[in-house]
Amino acid sequence: MTDSYSWWGFRVRIPLNYSPKPVTRGESLAFAMLAASLITLVWAAVVVVALPHVRLLTAIGVPMLIAAVALATALAPANLLEGSGIAAWMILSREKGSIRRLDHWLVLSAVVFAAVSVFRIGRPHGPAVLCMLLEAAVGMLLLLGQECVCLNRKRWSVAIPEWLKGRLKVKEEDDSPEPERGVVIPPDDGAKPLYHFKAAEGQAYAVGVMIPDELIAALRRLNREHRGYLYQQEPQAVVLADRSPTESLGREQVERLCAQVLSIARKHQLSRLALANAVLAFVQTEIPYGFDRDSTAGFEGGPFEEYGRMPPECLHDSVGDCECTSILCTSLLAYLGFETALLSVVVNSGNHMAVGLLPDSVLLPGERLDGLDLVSAKDSGGKRYLYGETALDGCNLPFGAIPADWRDSLKVEKVMAIGLPRPATQKAEA
């Protein structure tokens, strides 16, 4: 469900309607000059430490040779740069914003070696340091002249699921430095109830979808036939609505809500983990806790001692206990492209349900899980999940945080892996 480019062991997620701008000639020259300056820096260090009596011709010739080789590489045909992986490395550096970090090291190195050139080295070694400084300066000037080079930030890190392609509209200027230009999809006309999705501190957006009465009636009837326990018998069908007996029942509504959420995430350039935590906080905050026996008293055949609401039911009723909110959260995450699971747990001698998030679906290469709570069970196939608690009152906990009062007593009895939705069929909604 994710477009990606792979090279040298790295996987980079690519968002909707976006393809990396090709490497320009000026950009390749800039990278060549930066690389030459770093190599010359090493040469200058060798000259200072190991070759104090080097000849003037050598001190001048080696930096010139380094610069010539680097420039020849930059002027090579585009297909050669792409085939060797050099162009891919340039795009990766540009899109991740890592050039800014490289700038800091270049400036620091230039200052240090300029000081060394004044106090430590004589005439034969000055040209090496001077060449290094000139190469760094030229490289930086060329980079600053390239509009496509991103110096300040990572570009989109939220992957776009396949089902959403063509549904999310993106302006051409979306790749400008101002994230405020992102397009947020508004709630459905007449959506009731309206909820609020918080993307950042002080930044909340209205979200909501129209849920037809006929759909709710169909879901209620199906749940009633299974006495509210369908989520235990067919967890993937209840969460994803992509297979019998719930196929297509409410899938469209979940997709529309996810489209709204994802447009907000893109506007604020949320990372994968930040988006998952925002969805978890949305469910924790917007869906009040209610015991099944109380909240289903008015249902046909109710009240039910146990009733696992399907996602549209939970959104329609604006209430749910631990399994209802866990099902809703897992459904939203699955349709946003995350690998999730429903966790059946025992805490303080009572049964409970929570959400599991597979770390591989939220972390980029190099990111770590230090300090986060991971859980597993005998039936989890060796997989460990970030623990997510949906049934909270008046607070938010991110993924990887087990409530402090439960930490010692919580035990995962069963892991119901959900996976990603199957391709949609042409079935009628109800």
List the chain domain ranges.
19-144, 162-417
Omega before 77 cis (within 30°)?
A: no
* Strands 3-7, 203-207: pairing kind: unpaired
Torsion-angle region of 265 (φ positive above 0: left; ψ -120 to 50: alpha; else: beta): alpha
Tokens representing 264? 């907000």
Looking at this protein, which amino acid is placed at residue 367?
Answer: E
What's the number of CA atoms in the CB half-sphere (13 Å) around residue 298?
2
Specify the pLDDT at position 353: 96
Q: What is the Cα Rg of the chain in Å? A: 28
Q: How many CB atoms lie within 10 A of CB 429?
A: 14
Tokens representing 394? 């008046």
Specify the pLDDT at position 315: 96
Q: How many CB atoms lie within 10 A of CB 106?
A: 22
Specify the pLDDT at position 19: 46
The per-residue pLDDT string of the chain (430 residues; one tens digit each, 9 = 90 and over) reads: 333 333 333 334 444 334 455 666 766 777 777 777 777 777 767 766 666 666 666 766 777 787 778 777 777 776 676 666 666 666 656 655 555 445 455 556 555 655 555 544 455 556 666 666 666 666 666 655 544 444 333 333 445 555 555 554 443 334 433 334 468 999 999 898 999 999 887 889 999 999 999 999 999 999 999 999 999 999 999 999 999 999 889 999 999 999 999 999 988 888 888 899 999 999 999 999 999 999 999 999 989 999 999 999 999 999 999 999 999 999 999 999 899 999 999 988 789 999 999 988 877 555 566 678 889 888 778 889 999 999 887 678 899 989 888 888 899 999 999 989 988 764 433 2
**Following DSSP, what letter does each residue of 145-157 receive, concatenated?**
T-TT---SS----
Ranges assigned E (strand) in 271-389: 340-347, 350-357, 374-375, 385-388
**pTM summary value:** 0.62
The separation between the first and the last C-alpha atoms of the chain, rounded to the nearest angstrom, is 27
**What is the Cα–Cα distance from 42 to 132, expressed in whole angstroms?**
9
**What is the Cα–Cα distance from 318 to 218, expressed in whole angstroms?**
18
